[in-house]
Each structure stands twice: as C-alpha cells, then as structure tokens.
Amino acid sequence: MERTSIRLGGVELASSVMNASGARSAERGEIYELCAVHGGAIVFKSCNRAGLETPENLKNRGVEFFQSIATELTARNKKVIGSVVGASEEEFIDVARILDRAGASIVELNLADDYVTKSVAPFASFERLKSLLGRVRGETQCVLAVKVPPRVPFEPRAIADLFKSMRITIAVCANDLPKDLAIDVASGTVQGPPRTLSDAHAFFRESENLLDVVAVGGVNTGRDAYIAHLTGATAVQVGSALMKEGAGALGRIDRELDSILAEHGHKSVSEIVGIVRFSR
C-alpha cells in the first residue's frame, strides 16, 4: 500500500489527493490527461441534466457526456467521482441516478454553488435540505458526498448528524484555515487554545467516525495537504494549483505529501487524519 492511499467513505483510493470539481475536468481530453498522470480518483466537473452555457463557472456538456466517460473509466478500474448541480430536486435526483448507474464510486452533490443556492435553495430550511438529500439517497446506491458552502445557516453538528442519519458518508468542506496559523508540522501542534480551525475541521469534530471530510481550498503544496489532513481531512481537492500548473500538480502534491509523511515516520496518511493538538 502506498503511503498516501486512503479509504474515503469506504472507497479505496490510491491517493488522498485529487482534483477539485471543475479544475481541468470538464472536457474529455482534460479528464483523460488527469487520469494518465495521477492514480487517485478523478472528480468530474459539476453537471446538470442538459448542460449549461451559463453561468460560466458551471458551463458543462450535460450528464450524458459524463455518463459515457464514467462508463469507460470504471471499466478500467478508475475511481470516478461525479458532481451534480441542478435547478430542482428532480434534476439533482435524475443526474445523480445517471452517474450512479454509470459506475461512479462517489457522487458529490454540489450544494456550494450560487446557482444551486438561488434555485433549489437547499439551506433555506432544514426540511428543504433533508428532503433533497433523502430523495437523492433513496434513488442511488453509490457513496454520497455533499459539497457544503461556507457559512451555512445551521450548526455543523446539525448538518453532520443529518448526513450520518442519511448514510451520506462524505462532507466536502472549505479548507479555510487562518492565513497566519502557527503550526508545528512535526508534532501537529497549533499554538493557542483548542478551537475550530476551518469548516473541514468543524465537520471532522462532529464526524464520530461516520463521516469523512474532504478539504477543498488553498491546497497548493504537500505541506498544505498535510495540514489539511492534520485538521481532519481524509482527502484533499486541488483547484487553482491545477489550473495554474497543469495536470502535473496532483503528482507533485502527492509526492510532497509522501515525503513529509516519511520524514515524520508515518507509514500511512490515515495515521495523521485529525490528530492536530493545541498548546495553550
């Protein structure tokens, strides 16, 4: 087993590092390029039923396009994570079901985008969120992940408990650590009193081993990935670094993470998930 391989939501992945949805994952060529250079999971661009031309950040070719790529990749044992957006509950269910049946190991419901907030408004009430997730869960077999927007109007505990009760086993959360975080990486110690360090950390603290956290945002180096793992992430997603640097960014971050793990005597990345400590 490689040092950076991990089990996420019960799915074995060759690396805890993966692309963030949308970063070089909208077109067939981009997806195959990422698959060629990195052994971990591939996360597809968020897609809806028929495709979108606007908003620009959600421009996609529609679920059937991703369905055919998922079928091809899963036949080659590649772990595929589909990402869903929609303007209605029905569209979410429909798209999630199609990706599930195409063989995606994990389906990520993108509840973090404005497009979704303005249409489905999943966080307008707890009942709304429960209804959407319950209906998608009822229609799919795969592991389900939810990409949670920052600053949701409910306590992380309430959302985490809802996920657990609905067998949603992955929360994709903002890795919004303080910029000036003073951390001794070798010992995993953060200066100051015990506190919540990021959205990802907040969800990890409510996870009770029933929920895995994926941290997204600001992961540009192996050190960033290592700190995200220390603060509770089972896996990390890389967006901007991949856009800037190209597909090779994932392998670089994986190798850097591997070196830091080795340097600190860890045989597996799973040993450091959530072990951050505080010094007063």
Interacting residues toward ligand FMN by CB under 6 A: 20-23, 45-46, 57-58, 83, 110, 112, 147, 216-219, 238-240, 243
Q: How far is the CB of 183 from ligand FMN (least distance, A)?
A: 19
Nearer to ligand FMN, 4 or 25 (CB): 25
Q: How far is the CB of 58 from ligand FMN (least distance, A)?
A: 6
Q: Which two tokens stand for residue 265?
A: 């005597």
Nearer to ligand FMN, 210 or 243 (CB): 243
Closest CA to 85 of 134, 136, 41: 136
Nearer to ligand FMN, 70 or 238 (CB): 238
Closest CA to 236 of 16, 10, 7: 16
Within 10 angstroms of residue 192's Cβ, the number of other Cβ atoms is 11
Q: How far is the CB of 243 from ligand FMN (least distance, A)?
A: 5
Nearer to ligand FMN, 46 or 234 (CB): 46
Q: How far is the CB of 61 from ligand FMN (least distance, A)?
A: 12
Nearer to ligand FMN, 161 or 251 (CB): 251
Q: How far is the CB of 245 from ligand FMN (least distance, A)?
A: 11
Nearer to ligand FMN, 132 or 216 (CB): 216
Q: How far is the CB of 224 from ligand FMN (least distance, A)?
A: 9
